Amino acid sequence: MTTGHIPITSSELATLWTIYQKKTMMVRVIEFFLSNNQDAEAIEILQTFYEGESNFVNELRNIFTQEGAVVPIGFTENDVNLNAPQLFDDIFEVMYLRTMMKVATGLHALHMSMSYRKDIMDLYKRCSAFAEDICEKTTQFLLSKGVLPKSPAVTLPNQVKFAESKSYRTGLKMTGHRRSLNTVEVAYVYQAIESNVDGMKLMTGFAQVAKKKDIRKHFFRGKELSKTIITKSSEILLDSDINPPSTPAGRVTDSTISPFSDKLMMYNTSLLTSFGFGSGAIGTTFNLRNDLTLKMIPIAKDILDYSHDGGNLMIEHGLLEEPPQMEDRTQLSKGQSK
């Protein structure tokens, strides 16, 4: 039986560092949203999130200090301009928070499974429960406003069926047309569209206000990539006579004054790009029509290329904070520090 202090592992340090970056960014973003949002119900949700997320940031900071590790910089008051005009309307600010909570629930579940110390596992369980609660609140808020289209209705099955031939995988029937999508396939395609509609608007706003020209071009490229994903995914749904999701809500204003640093916007974009790539990979795994997989592979490559170029751009402009490094044993054996 072990007694005394249990040091954190490399994977625990990695996840704590990653979550600190994300949560300090979210505190700064929502801090700005609270300075301009006029919808009373939206403000209540944003305020609840801001207070809870700020508490988690303080808890993470205390863990780093207690373990004798340097506290990451993350994102500070220098990364937000509270005097900037509103960049997104009240509705989109809630849409953004909902999208980020989708990312958070997945990350916290993954990070909990990568941890060993009970207090850290408990931290991620609480983070996950908090993100799920905010996701529910934002979803119900948007539904009450009539601005969040639901996935398609479907006739409920009255019997269990098994695929009888390999044509189920190809999607081709004897008549020559492809079988309709199953509900699992629709679910992932639909979510890809929903996420990229929000992403397209976010990139539109970021492209308007970024300070550096090459970073503005990167955001514009991200907007075009989202549009491509929306178009190709919508074609998949329409081929099965399913209407893709559409909402006119969530407006980008005409402001060209940035409320956020280029560093914050690039990190936010990188985070969402990684989430999009991961979600696409999971969706492809559950596709049972080979033609869908073939359509998704080029998109996945485009997302990966975009993410790679974004990382290079962050390094070029000194915007990429390095995660904690493992010891360089080769250098240490030569008597050199890393």
Per the prediction, the chain carries an average pLDDT of: 90
Indicate the range of 89-98, 99-108, 151-160 predicted with least confidence. 151-160
Instruction: Quote the domain boundaries for residue 217.
Output: 167-316
Q: Do 212 and 73 share a structural domain?
A: no
Residue 305 is assigned to a structural domain of this protein: yes
SS3 at position 62: helix
Closest listed residue to residue 205, CA positions, set 252, 257, 270, 249: 252
Residue 106 is assigned to a structural domain of this protein: yes
The confidence score (pLDDT) of residue 14 equals 95
Q: Do 128 and 250 share a structural domain?
A: no
The confidence score (pLDDT) of residue 184 equals 87
Q: Label residue 312 by pLDDT band (50, 70, 90).
A: very high
Q: Distance between CA atoms of 100 and 135, rounded to whole angstroms?
A: 9
pLDDT of residue 173 exceeding 60, the answer is no
Number of domains within the chain: 2
Q: Do 139 and 215 share a structural domain?
A: no
Q: Do 270 and 183 share a structural domain?
A: yes
Q: Do 312 and 174 share a structural domain?
A: yes
- Which of 88 and 4 is assigned the larger pLDDT? 88
Residue 28 is assigned to a structural domain of this protein: yes
Q: Are 44 and 93 in contact (CB under 8 A)?
A: no
Residue 4 is assigned to a structural domain of this protein: no
Tokens 């609140």 map to which residue? 137
pLDDT of residue 1 exceeding 50, the answer is no
pTM here is: 0.91
Determine what percent of the chain is predicted with pLDDT higher than 90.
66
Tokens 């209705």 map to which residue? 153
DSSP state of 239: T
Q: Distance between CA atoms of 202 and 265, rounded to whole angstroms?
A: 10
Q: Do 307 and 204 share a structural domain?
A: yes
Q: Distance between CA atoms of 71 and 13, rounded to whole angstroms?
A: 11
The continuous run of DSSP H or E covering 120 comes out as helix 118-144
Q: Distance between CA atoms of 174 and 172, rounded to whole angstroms?
A: 7
Q: Do 173 and 305 share a structural domain?
A: yes
Query: What residue type is 250 in one-letter code?
Result: G
> What CATH number is given to the structural domain containing 40?
1.20.1260.10
pLDDT of residue 176 exceeding 70, the answer is no
Q: Distance between CA atoms of 197 and 235, rounded to whole angstroms?
A: 15
Q: Distance between CA atoms of 336 and 333, rounded to whole angstroms?
A: 7
Q: Do 255 and 194 share a structural domain?
A: yes
The confidence score (pLDDT) of residue 37 equals 97
Q: Do 115 and 173 share a structural domain?
A: no
Q: Distance between CA atoms of 207 and 221, rounded to whole angstroms?
A: 9
Residue 133 is assigned to a structural domain of this protein: yes
The confidence score (pLDDT) of residue 171 equals 57
Q: Distance between CA atoms of 27 and 205, rounded to whole angstroms?
A: 19
pLDDT tens-digit map of 217-276: 999 999 999 999 999 989 988 988 888 877 778 999 999 999 999 999 999 999 999 887
The confidence score (pLDDT) of residue 182 equals 87
Q: Do 171 and 125 share a structural domain?
A: no
Q: Looking at 144, 178, 196, which one is the last position of a domain? A: 144
β partners of residue 172 = 178
Q: Do 244 and 113 share a structural domain?
A: no
The confidence score (pLDDT) of residue 174 equals 46
pLDDT tens-digit map of 130-167: 999 999 999 999 999 999 988 888 889 899 988 777 77
Q: Looking at 82, 111, 144, which one is the last position of a domain? A: 144
Residue 334 is assigned to a structural domain of this protein: no
Tokens 């909990």 map to which residue? 112
Residue 125 is assigned to a structural domain of this protein: yes
Q: Distance between CA atoms of 53 and 59, rounded to whole angstroms?
A: 10
